[in-house]
A and B are shown apart, each in its own frame.
Chain A
Amino acid sequence: MKKTTCTTLIALLLSFGVYASGPVSKQATLIDSTSSSEVLLEVTGIYKSDERSKGKKRKDIKKNGVKKALDDSRKAAVYFLLLSGTDPILTQDSEKLAFKAIEDSFFDINTILGFISYEDGVPKTKVLTDGETGIRVVQQVKVNKEALILDLEKRGVLIEKDDLLDQIGNPFIMVLPSVSDDKNPLDLIKKDANLGHAAAVIQSLLTARQYDVVLPDQQQFLNDLVDGQLSLKDIPTDMAYQMALSVGSDIYIDFELSESDAGYGTKRMAVRVRAFETTTARLLGSETGYSEARSGDDMVSIEEAMLSALDNVLARVTTYWKKDIYKGLQYKVIVSIDGGFSPNNLEQVQDSVVDSMSAVSLKTKEQIVTDQTLDYVLWVDPNDYPTSRQVWRKIRSEFRDLTRMGEIALANQNRKLLILRITP
């Protein structure tokens, strides 16, 4: 009995020793996105000696204070990326809950060191506190954010990116500068080296993170090629298809560059980056980024500003996609009702199409309803209806079951945009 009690006690004590705790400090500032996978942070680490006497505390701080405070600062860096700041990695409650279960073992210093790709090793500042029985250090560390995310995916805290993209339909992304109506963005990219460089930076980061990227000039080439091939075969031009092609991709990332004088002949570059869903016009993320004011090296400044904005934009896009998994993928449905229905019949037809849309979706939002047009946003479970075509088929079958007063047909299906037509 006594032996069992002792063994149990030892096991319990060991378990406390194995798990490290989170950071004391939790203070960090994002300085720079240094590459597509790494971020540079300025972090604070705190250590207070837990020795008994003041003399021993001071001795402990002199001997071990810097090392332990630096360890705390590394944990604070990872903690900041996970849970703090404007765009933490863990956004969903389920993710935070999953992380809580592994938090103690995760913050073991050996695990944390695996994510630190660089640090100076010498504190930028070091302050002795509480009568030299505590210490606070500040240092800069570079954290491999992508490695951190991959690790959490493997631990099951985060959904894997491939799974996420699969569930939301493997969107294609196109990058274009923000232009006024009378200008061609492709021409602008070719003529303006700064815009071309900015686009290249975004494409570089997207491909590094294995997103599907569509090049606008290559897309245009393909469109012309297809059109040419079809006309060679005397196949009539499909205007609806031409119009749909003009959309380009599922998601657009557009950007704007500007520069300002910052004194001593230096220039500061500013970028505005937006990501939106083309067929629903839904803004997925928007962020601004700024470079250091610098004399010369415009390309470096552009990339510096772009990296600082882009990381946040993509983080927000990912957050929206995660929400979409739970709330449902958004579809925009425009229903055009031809004339020829009596008022009573029209109402019945409208009700039927609304009920059909409700049947296929988790939630609907009525945008506009007129005698001739219904404009709706649907949230559809991708597990039930993975493609737009399946959404349309469900709406059609429901409508046919609900009423015989009109014929419903698909006028145009373009990514997440469904244009339906109801005729008498």
Chain B
Amino acid sequence: MIRIIIMGIVLAVGVSALDTDGLFIKKTIVSPESAWVFSTVEENDQYLGKKFSTALAKKIKRMKRFDTVQFDSSVFQPVYEAIHATSTANADLLVTALESHVLDDVEAMLMSNAYQKRRVRAIQQRRGVGFAQTKGKSNAYTMEEMQILMNSVYVYIPYIRSADTVKVEGENPVTVRTITGGMLWYNVQMSPTGSVALVPVQEIERTSFMALPSSMAIEPLMDAGIMRALLSKTIKATKSMPMFTLVSKTISVSGRDYTLSLTKDSGAKLDDLFFLQEDMESDGGGIERKTVGLLRITQSSREDWAHGYQHIGSARDRGGYVIESPRRGFQLGAGVYYAGDIQSSRILSYLDNDQTLMLPFDTALGWQASLDYNVGRHIGVSQLFVGVDYSRADLQSNSGASTQGDNRIEAYHTRLSKKFWWQRHAVRLDVGTGTERVQASDAVRLRNYKLKIRSMKYGIGYEFMLSPRWLFSATATQHRMFRLSQLSYTLDGTAYHFSNSDARQLGIQYNRGYMSYQCGIRIDF
């Protein structure tokens, strides 16, 4: 394993040096149909291998930055038979099996005219304007291009190392399911004299888990969720490998808008993030590449160059580099939550058309958490997020009246947000819908008060990019009730329970609500 890592580091540097000017060149990926499931994985979990490899193959095939090739299943079958035939299979055995059964087919593919013709555009994209390209109109591969072509095929083997289920007993038993898996990457290298070798490049291993109450823990469903997360982590790590990371040059700049020598065909997508880098002479006279900014793809098309907007750093002129910062599209946030002028308490003021005591709470203070996902990049709308918010705040009285017990307001919302950026600053518009629960256990004559309402919310927020991953966020949101789900309380010893349909009798005024203010930190990953 250590040998693989060391060789991987050395060869990843060496192989990436083959790329012309260090810029991204599309690689060919040979995608297998099955996975190596370790012998330690139980029999009834063996299906995870096929599930993982199929999902990986499908995802990699969809990624524009790769040229994907799938051989006939009979090519890889002997490899899997060899490694599954023994309980002591290891990476060396895998390499031997790949060299024996797969390498010849890869070599035949490399030497075929059809493959070389298909790869012309990717390999020759950065040709100059010498005689051969202009008057000569030559598409013939030069030696340097042949070297790149013959060393740009990668093979991966997905694997599942372990799949464990642990039940945590107690008052609320919880089932924790953990799956560990990854990919072993190999590079097919051909020397100028034609000899072919398979060289280990990198191993990516990730673990995902899910914890659910045991009553809800259905293993296949948990596996589906865990595998999705495992796939996402593995793909993100794959994108971070030097030979697969998108690296490009900035070819023109207007203010903070950059044109990059990347197209959608190379895998650059809307809202992808890139670090802006420039070469600088160090004190010792060497050249160092330093990060000077962050930009986000704002426009990407198949035929035209991608455009990006620079958020962090001062504007630079053309000729610099951009290197991808792969993200999964999620933002996780947390912070302080404050609600003011809570009017849900007025519901009780219309009981039996008589005014009753109101809850002595006007405000609430607590915390909030959110998880957002950028859906906009899939549908061509930049910075459009779908998110879920959870907030929990302790109800507070501004009148000074004493309160006892557990008095709180909880809210669960799903939200759609759109951000509008200017440099590091963004204005965010939110709209959402969800459920709010108000609970007061002991408030003067009122006991066991529970209110559940459906509400919608809309708000405006401000975000500031503290760093490429961290953002400061502050929002003001108006919550509006639109339906009562449940109300129950004990007043002067008498218990009351109202459902949705009873709301009319209460004379509840809908479209009332409260203002909430959130302030916190978000991390982009």
Contact = CB atoms under 8 A, between A and B. Distances in A.
A266 interface: yes
Contacts of B103: none
A295 B141 contact: yes
B143 A63 contact: no
21 contacts: A31-B128, A31-B130, A34-B134, A34-B135, A40-B128, A40-B130, A66-B317, A67-B317, A122-B250, A125-B21, A126-B278, A126-B319, A128-B279, A129-B280, A140-B128, A140-B129, A263-B147, A264-B147, A264-B190, A300-B136, A300-B140
A40 B129 CA distance: 8
Contacts of B287: 127
A307 B136 CA distance: 12
B141 A266 contact: yes
Interface residues of B, number: 39
Interface string B273-284: 000001111000
A304 B134 CA distance: 11
Given A126-B320, A263-B193, A294 B132 contact: yes
Given A32-B130, A300-B132, A304-B136, A293 B143 contact: yes
Nearest to B136: A300
A294 B138 contact: yes
A406 B78 CA distance: 101
B301 to A, nearest CB: 19
Interface of A: 31-35, 40, 62-63, 65-67, 118, 120-130, 132, 136-137, 140, 142, 262-266, 268, 292-297, 300-301, 303-304, 307
A128 B141 contact: no
Question: Which 9 pairs across A and B sit closest by C-beta, in order of nearness?
Answer: A263-B192, A293-B143, A126-B319, A264-B146, A300-B136, A297-B140, A123-B319, A66-B317, A32-B130
B279 A126 contact: yes
Given A33-B131, A304-B136, A264 B318 contact: no
Nearest to A139: B319
A34 B194 CA distance: 32
B138 A62 contact: no
B146 A122 contact: no
Given A122-B318, A263-B143, A266-B146, 17 more contacts: A33-B131, A66-B318, A122-B251, A125-B279, A127-B280, A264-B141, A264-B146, A264-B150, A264-B192, A266-B143, A292-B132, A293-B143, A294-B140, A294-B142, A295-B140, A297-B140, A303-B135
B452 interface: no
Contacts, number: 121
Interface of B: 21, 128-132, 134-136, 138-143, 146-147, 150, 190, 192-194, 249-252, 261, 278-281, 287, 314-320
A304 B131 contact: yes
Contacts of B261: 122
Contacts of B318: 66, 121-123
Contacts of B139: 297
Given A127-B279, A129-B281, A297 B138 contact: yes
A303 B131 contact: yes
A57 to B, nearest CB: 14
B142 A266 contact: yes
Contact of B317 (A33, A62, A142, A307): A62
A65 B316 CA distance: 10
Nearest to B111: A265
Contacts of A126: 278-279, 319-320
Nearest to A301: B132
Contacts of A294: 132, 138, 140-143
Contacts of B320: 126
